[in-house]
């Protein structure tokens, strides 16, 4: 765990504290934001936001600037930007039925006949299906080329640990886009055509939605044994959207869908609720980005070094400013 995490600091809280406390980091961030937006900012303060695309609100001379914050580590270059059930995206993007069906197959919210079902129905089925029926269905899917034996063994290992859950039932039934290409070429083509047509709309929607976000701040984190370095970068939001819109829509080697520079995948994994792990949301669609893409267009601001000394948090600043 990083020193920032150990100290109870989130990246957003750290940025807000820097800005409101008038530190060198905060001053440099305001300087760079002003430079990027072409404004002056003499008086300012910042607030954290919750439940929105924007993470921080900066009030600059009475004007509101919404900021999205992304954390980036070179050894883990990915960042979750949004997830939800397929039904939500069908409603939001006026999705044709054929694409809806393909996405339900992709996340595994389907019955034994590969027909879409609500996630509530999949949850009920996971509670009632026997292990014998689960295994028989898995073997049938292996025979049809929709599930590999290796995937089945991994799923079965998880089933033995926690039983048949909605996420594991969906994981067994899902049809990745590379397998869909062979299983139903026409359905696969409809997915590529739809996301190619909707690419710019979808990229903007998952990054900023309808919020007037002006700035992205990426914090590159380098963690060593007794030292953590934080490098702050600032980029204008419209340029960030352009970066992630570049490129075609294609199927990845892992069977996911790359929409420009945003990857669409099945969420998977577990979620902690109360006192137990559940995986109801494992069958959601999830959009991820590589934050390093933003660094290509960003303004480098400052490097902050955080160390531990006598159980105290010590910060050393190395100041830089680069205008691209």
Predicted pLDDT at 224: 82
| pLDDT range class, residue 264, cuts 50, 70, 90 | very high
The secondary structure of residue 69, as a DSSP letter, is E
- 49 alpha carbon, distance to own chain's centre: 18
CB contact at 8 A, 121 and 320: no
Question: What residues contact residue 320 under an 8 Å CB cut-off, 6+ apart?
Answer: 300, 301, 302, 303
Q: What is the mean pLDDT of the chain?
A: 89
Q: pLDDT tens-digit profile of 129-154?
A: 999 999 999 999 999 999 999 999 99
At residue 277, does pLDDT exceed 80?
no
First to last CA, the chain: 33
The secondary structure of residue 163, as a DSSP letter, is -
Global confidence as pTM: 0.88
Alpha-carbon span 216 to 110, nearest angstrom: 38
In the chain, the domains with their CATH numbers are 3-77+200-246+291-319 (3.40.1350.40), 103-183 (no CATH)
Predicted pLDDT at 76: 85
Name residue 286's beta-bridge partners: 83, 265
Please name which of 241, 91, 36 lies closest in space to residue 103, comparing C-alpha atoms. Answer: 91
| Helix (H) or strand (E) segment spanning residue 158 | helix 149-162
Please name which of 232, 257, 207 lies closest in space to residue 102, comparing C-alpha atoms. Answer: 257
CB contact at 8 A, 177 and 251: yes
**Percentage of residues in the chain with pLDDT exceeding 90?**
74
CB contact at 8 A, 195 and 257: yes
Residue 35 burial by Cβ neighbours in a 10 Å radius (0-12, 13-18, 19+): middle
């Amino acid at each position: 765990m990083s020193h920032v995490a150990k100290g109870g600091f989130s990246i957003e809280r750290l940025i807000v504290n820097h800005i409101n406390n008038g530190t060198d980091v905060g001053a440099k961030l305001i300087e760079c934001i002003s430079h990027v937006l072409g404004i002056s900012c003499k008086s300012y303060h910042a607030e954290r936001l919750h439940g929105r695309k924007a993470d921080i609100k900066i009030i600059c001379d009475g004007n509101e600037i919404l900021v999205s914050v992304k954390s980036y580590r070179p050894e883990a270059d990915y960042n979750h930007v949004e997830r939800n059930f397929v039904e939500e995206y069908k409603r939001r993007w006026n999705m044709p039925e054929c694409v809806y069906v393909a996405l339900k197959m992709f996340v595994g919210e389907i019955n034994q006949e590969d027909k879409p079902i609500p996630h509530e129905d999949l949850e009920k089925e996971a509670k009632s299906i026997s292990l014998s029926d689960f295994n028989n269905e898995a073997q049938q899917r292996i025979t049809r080329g929709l599930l590999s034996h290796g995937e089945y063994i991994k799923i079965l290992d998880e089933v033995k640990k926690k039983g048949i859950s909605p996420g594991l039932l969906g994981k067994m039934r899902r049809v990745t886009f590379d397998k869909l290409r062979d299983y139903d070429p026409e359905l696969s083509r409809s997915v590529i055509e739809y996301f190619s047509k909707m690419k710019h709309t979808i990229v903007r929607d998952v990054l900023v939605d309808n919020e007037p976000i002006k700035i992205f701040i990426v914090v590159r984190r380098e963690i060593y044994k007794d030292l953590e370095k934080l490098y702050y970068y600032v980029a204008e939001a419209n340029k960030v959207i352009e970066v992630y819109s570049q490129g075609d829509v294609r199927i990845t080697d892992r069977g996911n869908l790359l929409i420009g520079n945003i990857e669409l995948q099945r969420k998977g994994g577990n979620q902690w609720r109360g006192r137990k792990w559940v995986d109801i949301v494992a069958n959601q669609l999830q959009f991820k980005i590589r934050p390093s893409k933003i660094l290509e267009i960003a303004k480098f601001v400052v490097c902050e070094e955080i160390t531990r000394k006598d159980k105290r948090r010590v910060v050393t600043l190395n100041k830089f400013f680069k205008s691209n």
